């Protein structure tokens, strides 16, 4: 079963929703969501062109390969994905790294005062 913190390979849609690219993502959804047919995930990329990113270092990966170290997690690229299109878990990040992602998402989506 896919779990929170897993790095999976899946088809991730571009913002136009018409095109997709196979890419690694980090699952941020909890067990309740993951027990359905979907997961909620954020994109991993080598691109630095994003102010809402978190740097992924080899020390943040606690299971699996380090192929994704020295990459960036784009916390504004949040997507609900169907697990059927996933190639399964290939690595896992630490709870501490997940907390960094959630903090960056919180900052990105914060409520603005009127």
Q: What is the pLDDT of residue 17?
A: 62
Residue 59 lies in a domain: yes
| Range(s) of the domain holding residue 44 | 6-108
**Burial label, 67 (beta-carbon count in 10 A; 0-12, 13-18, 19+):** middle
3-state secondary structure of 85: helix
Residue 1 lies in a domain: no
**Structure pTM?**
0.90
Residue 114 lies in a domain: no
Which three-class secondary structure string do you get for 46-62? CCCCCCCEEEECHHHEE
Structural domains of the chain, count: 1
Instruction: Encode pLDDT of 9-25 as tens digits.
Output: 998 776 666 777 788 99
Residue 113 lies in a domain: no
Residue 97 lies in a domain: yes
CATH number of residue 100's parent domain: 2.30.30.110
Nearest to 101 by CA among 2, 13, 6, 11: 6
């Amino acid at each position: 079963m896919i779990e929170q913190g897993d790095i999976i390979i899946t088809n991730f849609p571009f913002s136009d929703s018409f095109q997709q690219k196979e890419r690694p993502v980090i699952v941020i959804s909890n067990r309740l969501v993951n027990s359905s047919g979907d997961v909620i995930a954020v994109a991993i990329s080598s691109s630095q062109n994003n102010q809402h990113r978190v740097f992924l270092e080899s020390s943040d990966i606690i299971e699996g390969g380090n192929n994704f170290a020295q990459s960036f997690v784009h916390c504004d690229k949040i997507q609900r994905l169907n697990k059927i299109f996933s190639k399964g878990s290939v690595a896992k990040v630490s709870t501490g790294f997940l907390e960094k992602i959630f903090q960056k998402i919180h900052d990105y989506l914060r409520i603005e005062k009127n």
